[in-house]
Chain A
Amino acid sequence: MAKILIVDDDSLARESLARIIKKMGHEASEAGSVGSAREKLKEEAFDLVFSDVRMPDGSGLDLLPEIRASSSAPEVIIVTGFGDPDGAELAIKKGAWDYIEKPLSVKPVMLCVERALQYRDKKRTASQPVALKVEGIVGASPKLRACLDTLAQAASSEANVLITGETGTGKELFAWAIHRNSARSGRNFVVVDCAALPETLVESTLFGHVRGAFTGADKPRDGLVRQADGGTLFLDEIGELSVSIQRAFLRVLQEKRFRPVGGGQEVSSDFRLVAATNRHLEDLIRAGGFREDLLFRLRTLALELPPLREMKEDIKDLMLHYLVRFCEQYDIPMKAYSPDFLEVLLNYDWPGNIRELIQALEKAIISAKEEPVLFPKHLPDHIRIHLARAAVLQKRAPTPSPETGPAAAGPALNLKDFREAELTRIEKNYLSSLLRRTNGEVGEACRISGLSRSRLYTLLKKYGLKPSG
């Protein structure tokens, strides 16, 4: 008998779902809000959670990572009455087992429950506790733990992996960890830095060349694809590869055979592919800069690394880790930090993500010289200025709106602050009317605005706006 939690503010929907579940011989528990679901998840272990999307105190989609991160890590089925394909996509991306629409009918619900529980059973018997080697990956936030789950899944398979994430989120670190934990760890992990290789070098670097293939090719040379034989080939910044190289690489990926530059004979290489990019490959495909068939091949497994601003609970651990590391590196006594130092780190948005945090900490340690305690003044100026400006703006123009916008404050603000506040107001107005015009259809809103899906969601979140669903 499995324990199933139903999270829905609609008591009738909850009750009818509970009836179906009990009829199947399982135990049903109910929560009428996100808050109450959180409490129940803390108190009890569940095998499966049905969660509605829209509830008065929050969204089931936002609750999803917390459910997955709770100690029993139940499977999640998202239920909604709004028929929103983007919500479905988001649910799956966030790790939901499945997605069903209201009104619920008995058979699909029973099938869904049965399959989810079967999957959970199999997962439980198959998974043996394995200690992942994850040097350098620091933190314990639910989002990071979800990434580590995918890492473990990737390491135990031979599937191609596509790692995405903003710059500085640690894509190479995860790629390396996948290799280190895989059956190929005894062989080469070969990095191809697609952004650093000029177009003229890419082909011979990847595929090697025979003697005399071009001026200066005095000797034959193996390319990186050959050197990855038996190991892992990591294509970093794959979005930077030219379309012609993408075409050549697609063939290599399909056949694991290729021809070195100037060569007549094919060479084989049994490599496992991990690729990474900070670009939105779907947007690139639309612009003709990336091959759709290559993307399909690449993302057998997808690992999306969240930006640091979405994992702020990891900042303290990261700070402590790197303080120790830099103090060792510079051979200086361990430094303490003031509470406001940590507060600044927590309040800043870190557009450059973990890499920017690491650089800021290194700069702070260098600036502090002999001082034993780190204060905000030791951090890079641009961080302190950014926060100071945000604080001033908040005080002076707390809620810019069309009616009372910063224009009303007029000369009370300096030009920069005024411009920033006006831009904020205009952006919010634009997004509100965009949602009205598209009836909250995210796909249509992306098409009209030219924004990527993730950028649109980020902006909607920033302004507290909601698409349909």
Chain B
Amino acid sequence: MNLFVLIAENGGTSGRFLEDVTPLVPQDKIEVLNGSLALAERLRKPRDPFCAVLVLGPSHEDLRRIISLRDFLKDARVLLVLGDESEETISLAHRVLPTYISVLDESTSGVVSVLKQLMKDARVHERDC
């Protein structure tokens, strides 16, 4: 399973999320991307059938861009770590159809446990195939 970690412009304080998820995924499967344009570029290249995208601190503009990429994100699990929980941010976040939403000033444990679950599911799927 590929993990793309998108560090957005507002993701300044997101280092601890990156630190905590890095050990979960094999090194060759994790890619850190800077900004939503880099994500759009990356999605134009082949990837594993199972893939997760962790978005750290997206701006509204980033969220809009990710929404526009939704067609390319089918079957990818998106985990959003938002910078704030304003009504507009939450509303945009849900339009991404994310698997999980957290916020930057919250503990990383939620994101880590969801990612572990996704990794487990991906392994089962790969084994069954």
- Measured CB to CB, the residues of A under 8 A from B are 136, 172, 176, 188-191, 193, 195-198, 200-201, 205, 216, 218-219, 221-222, 224, 227, 325, 329-331, 355, 358-359, 362, 366, 382
Contact residues in B for A219 (Cβ distance below 8 Å): 105-106
Contact residues in A for B45 (Cβ distance below 8 Å): 330
Contact B107 A193 (CB under 8 A): no
Contact residues in A for B98 (Cβ distance below 8 Å): 191
A221 to chain B, nearest CB (A): 7
Decide: A227 near B90, CB < 8 A? Known: A201-B113, A216-B109. Answer: yes
**Residue in A closest to B77 when the chains form the complex, CB atoms:** A196
CB contact between A382 and one of B72, B109, B118, B129 (< 8 Å): that residue: B129
Contact A191 B107 (CB under 8 A): no
Contact residues in B for A195 (Cβ distance below 8 Å): 117, 121
Contact B46 A366 (CB under 8 A): yes
Contact residues in B for A190 (Cβ distance below 8 Å): 94
Q: State A196–B101 Cα separation when bound (angstroms).
A: 12
- Per-position contact with A for B105-123: 1 when CB-CB < 8 Å, else 0? 1110110011011100100
Contact residues in B for A189 (Cβ distance below 8 Å): 94-95, 97
Contact residues in A for B46 (Cβ distance below 8 Å): 362, 366
Contact A201 B110 (CB under 8 A): yes
Q: Is B91 interfacial (CB-CB < 8 Å)?
A: yes
User: How many residues in B have their beta carbons less than 8 Å from beta carbons of A?
Assistant: 33
A241 to chain B, nearest CB (A): 14
Q: State A172–B97 Cα separation when bound (angstroms).
A: 10
Q: Is B85 interfacial (CB-CB < 8 Å)?
A: yes
Q: Is B43 interfacial (CB-CB < 8 Å)?
A: yes
- Measured CB to CB, the residues of B under 8 A from A are 43-46, 49, 71-72, 74-75, 77, 85, 90-91, 94-95, 97-101, 103, 105-107, 109-110, 113-114, 116-118, 121, 129
Q: State A227–B49 Cα separation when bound (angstroms).
A: 30
A-B contact pairs, 18 of them (CB 8 A): A136-B71, A189-B94, A189-B95, A189-B97, A191-B98, A196-B99, A196-B121, A198-B113, A198-B117, A221-B85, A222-B90, A330-B45, A331-B44, A358-B74, A358-B75, A359-B49, A359-B75, A362-B46
**Residue in A closest to B98 when the chains form the complex, CB atoms:** A191
Contact residues in A for B94 (Cβ distance below 8 Å): 188-191, 227
Q: State A201–B106 Cα separation when bound (angstroms).
A: 14
A210 to chain B, nearest CB (A): 14
Contact residues in B for A329 (Cβ distance below 8 Å): 43-44, 71-72
Contact B44 A193 (CB under 8 A): no
Q: State A221–B106 Cα separation when bound (angstroms).
A: 10
Total cross-chain contacts (CB, 8 A): 70
Contact B109 A196 (CB under 8 A): no
If A188-B91, A196-B121, A227-B90 are given as contacts, then 6 extra A-B residue pairs at C-beta distance below 8 Å, sorted by A number, are: A191-B98, A191-B99, A196-B118, A219-B106, A329-B43, A362-B46
Contact residues in A for B105 (Cβ distance below 8 Å): 218-219
Q: State A224–B72 Cα separation when bound (angstroms).
A: 25
Q: State A329–B69 Cα separation when bound (angstroms).
A: 10
A228 to chain B, nearest CB (A): 8
Q: State A190–B98 Cα separation when bound (angstroms).
A: 9
**Residue in B closest to A175 when the chains form the complex, CB atoms:** B97
Of listed B85, B97, B101, B109, residue having the most chain A CB within 10 A: B97
Q: State A191–B77 Cα separation when bound (angstroms).
A: 12
A380 to chain B, nearest CB (A): 9
Contact B113 A193 (CB under 8 A): no
**Residue in A closest to B46 when the chains form the complex, CB atoms:** A366
Q: State A221–B90 Cα separation when bound (angstroms).
A: 12
B1 to chain A, nearest CB (A): 13
Contact A188 B90 (CB under 8 A): yes
Q: State A355–B129 Cα separation when bound (angstroms).
A: 14
B39 to chain A, nearest CB (A): 13
A263 to chain B, nearest CB (A): 17
Of listed A218, A227, A358, A382, residue having the most chain B CB within 10 A: A227
Contact A325 B44 (CB under 8 A): no
Decide: A330 near B44, CB < 8 A? Known: A190-B94, A200-B113, A201-B113. Answer: yes
Contact residues in A for B99 (Cβ distance below 8 Å): 191, 193, 196
Contact residues in B for A172 (Cβ distance below 8 Å): 97
CB contact between B100 and one of A197, A216, A330, A355 (< 8 Å): that residue: A197
**Residue in A closest to B91 when the chains form the complex, CB atoms:** A188
Contact residues in B for A358 (Cβ distance below 8 Å): 74-75
Q: State A191–B49 Cα separation when bound (angstroms).
A: 21
Contact residues in B for A196 (Cβ distance below 8 Å): 77, 99-100, 114, 117-118, 121
**Residue in B closest to A188 when the chains form the complex, CB atoms:** B94
CB contact between A222 and one of B43, B85, B100, B113 (< 8 Å): that residue: B85
Q: State A189–B70 Cα separation when bound (angstroms).
A: 14
A411 to chain B, nearest CB (A): 31
Q: State A362–B43 Cα separation when bound (angstroms).
A: 12
Decide: A201 near B91, CB < 8 A? Known: A216-B109, A325-B71, A382-B129. Answer: no
